[in-house]
Chains A and B, each alone.
Chain A
Amino acid sequence: MMAGRVVEIAEDGRHLAKSRGFLTVSADGAEIGRVPLDDIAAVVASAHAITYSNTLLVALAERGAPLVVCGANHRPAAVLWAADGHHDQAGRMSEQAAAPLPLKKRLWAQVVSAKIESQGATLESVGAPHEGFALLARKVRSGDPDNVEAQAARRYWPLLFGEDFRRERAGGGVNAMLNYAYTVLRAGTARAIMAAGLHPSLGLAHRQRGNAFALADDLMEPFRPVADLLVHDVVSGGATEVDRETKPELARILITDMSSGDGVSPVAACLERLALSAARCFAGTARKLDLPRRTLPLEG
């Protein structure tokens, strides 16, 4: 299974096109780089003045690689989605749309529980107190009516980034780094959802009504703490903002190894398995989401 590479266009004046099996990037009429189309997990467009050839957009859609168009602070404004991502897309989307509320609530509880466990693992990795998180994860009931997710978050952020830290989407510094890592994670999740034949707008948690990427935002939750750990490491290394040095480190989120039923796989592969298991749950052929567990850091 391919983990795939993330292509980001961060400078103005770039033109993206397709040449044989490659995405080519040009500036002032001269090619400055190329990436094999089959290796691309997602293209993130964060600069303002970018042009594209239609042939390239078709080639990306054919491979299920989303084009993420970003607004300010690396927050995604739009995703170009393949019209036909899976051979049984229509069938799977109708099962997804017809999924009864109790089922969605049960699945949401599994996601929240896995996220809280993952937060505990991230805190453990950085040597912070983490003991309460396993207990909190077990407290999550169907639909998370007690909002254990928020209780965990209130404890988690100060333990990870210090008492003064506030998670703000529009913030700079650490907040912008988190946005960046989440954008890459969201693109990988979007690709997995598309490949599983599901619709991104029909989420599990009702709180996200109106969000066009509700399901992507739901399924990426247990992986956010892995991204948080990458940000923590980059910040510990002295970085203070999203720049040319930190971006490649944060983009590693999709190739970070996690353990699952099939052994150790990168996050990108875990997302594919999770999305497929969600499709099976909607179809009524499975009851549990295929959620990864956190492994200890690999010695490299």
Chain B
Amino acid sequence: MTARRPALSGYRMMWLYVMFDLPVGTAAERKAAARFRKFLLDRGFEMAQFSVYLRFAESKEAAETHIARIRDALPRKGKVHIVAITDKQYGNARIFAGRKRERSAGNPDQLALF
């Protein structure tokens, strides 16, 4: 209720990792893989690494909605892992670029100020 207390609990907020390994041997397979990648971008997933996409979801329900949409857009061949973790767990992730520690994205503020 007040500005000092978080209105969204860190246990309700989720992060979704989508990891995929899709065949790219034929032109049709490459096309299907590109379509899936573009689908993830259109749905607001950002690339964390090649074949690993990441998205914030404000609640468990919102995460389930995203997962249902992905299921409807799965390519015919290849393997896709979807991992949902809480914001608290995401906060413990250790991210390295080379040997240097990078800060995780952090959960988005209610206000995006530019």
Given A20-B42, A36-B44, A255-B7, A14 and B114 touching (CB < 8 A)? yes
Q: Which residue of A lies closest to B42 (CB)?
A: A21
B6 engages A300 (CB within 8 Å): yes
B58 part of interface (Cβ distance < 8 Å):
yes
B1 engages A298 (CB within 8 Å): yes
Chain B residues with a Cβ under 8 A of chain A = 1-9, 38, 41-46, 55-56, 58, 61-62, 108-114
A8 part of interface (Cβ distance < 8 Å):
yes
Residues of A contacting B7 with CB < 8 Å? 252, 255-257, 266, 298, 300
Chain A residues with a Cβ under 8 A of chain B = 1-3, 5-11, 14, 20-22, 25, 32-39, 125, 184, 226, 229-230, 233-234, 237, 244, 247-252, 254-257, 266, 295-300
Q: Is the interface of B mostly helix, strand, loop or mixed?
A: loop
- Could you tell me the distance between the alpha carbons of A192 and B93 in the complex, rounded to whole angstroms? 36
A254 engages B110 (CB within 8 Å): yes
Residues of B contacting A3 with CB < 8 Å? 8, 58, 110
Q: Which residue of A lies closest to B10 (CB)?
A: A300
Residues of B contacting A20 with CB < 8 Å? 38, 41-42
- Could you tell me the distance between the alpha carbons of A257 and B1 in the complex, rounded to whole angstroms? 6
Q: Which residue of A lies closest to B114 (CB)?
A: A25
Q: Given contacts A21-B44, A233-B4, A299-B5, could you give 10 more A-B pairs where the C-beta distance is less than 8 Å? A: A2-B58, A7-B114, A14-B114, A32-B114, A38-B44, A229-B1, A247-B111, A247-B113, A248-B109, A297-B2
**9 A-B pairs whose Cβ atoms sit less than 8 Å apart in the complex:** A3-B58, A6-B112, A8-B111, A10-B114, A20-B41, A39-B108, A125-B2, A237-B3, A297-B2
Residues of A contacting B44 with CB < 8 Å? 21-22, 36-39
